[in-house]
Amino acid sequence: MNDTLLIYYSFEGNTEFVAKTLTEKLKVDVERLQVTNEPPRSGLGKFLRGGKSALFQEDPGLKPITANVKDYYDIIIAFPVWAGSYPPAIGAFLEANPFTGRNVYLIGCSASGNASGAFDKLTRKLQGNTILGTLSLKNPLKNQDETRERIREFAARRN
């Protein structure tokens, strides 16, 4: 077991790409959040239902994870930005696995490259922990070289 846990949720593969790239740079234990109730993968319903579920933090039907979050000193949370916020899977994870006194790093993936609103909301939700760093990535799958470089820099700051 490592002292760092990477928790991530990926909807379209961008955050999964980030997680895989990050695990090439850092020794971390990894948990991918899985849900039973996701929005449609395309069309207007994707944005309407996904945005609504993010704004109201609707229960996504989070499947259990195997890691015990309290066993880790550092936690990295990676996620896609939905409607300027974090997706319900992240909120459900934090409700099901409360923790304090940890060092937390946040990684947000969005089309705009601006995850600051989601970071602000998560920082408030994670009171009692120390947010040591954030990384906002723009379309990681479309910008793979830039994403790899930014993750390399992020990992170098952590070591």
78-121 pLDDT per residue, tens? 999 988 889 999 999 999 999 999 999 999 999 987 899 999 99
What spatial distance separates the first Cα and last Cα of the chain, rounded to whole Å?
Answer: 17
Distance CA 133, CA 36 (A): 30
For residue 111 the two structure tokens come to 């089309």
Helix (H, G, I), strand (E, B), or coil: what is residue 64?
Answer: coil
Segment among 53-57, 58-62, 128-132, 134-138 with least mean pLDDT: 53-57
More confident site: 157 or 129: 129
Question: Of 41-50, 56-65, 132-141, which range is least confident?
Answer: 41-50
> One-letter amino acid identity for 6?
L
User: For residue 80, which of 43, 44, 24, 38 has the smallest C-alpha distance?
Assistant: 38
What pLDDT, in 10s, does the model give residues 116-131? Answer: 999 999 999 999 999 9
Q: 4-8 and 29-32: which strand pairing? A: parallel
CATH architecture observed for domain 4-158: 3-Layer(aba) Sandwich (3.40)
pTM above 0.75, yes or no: yes
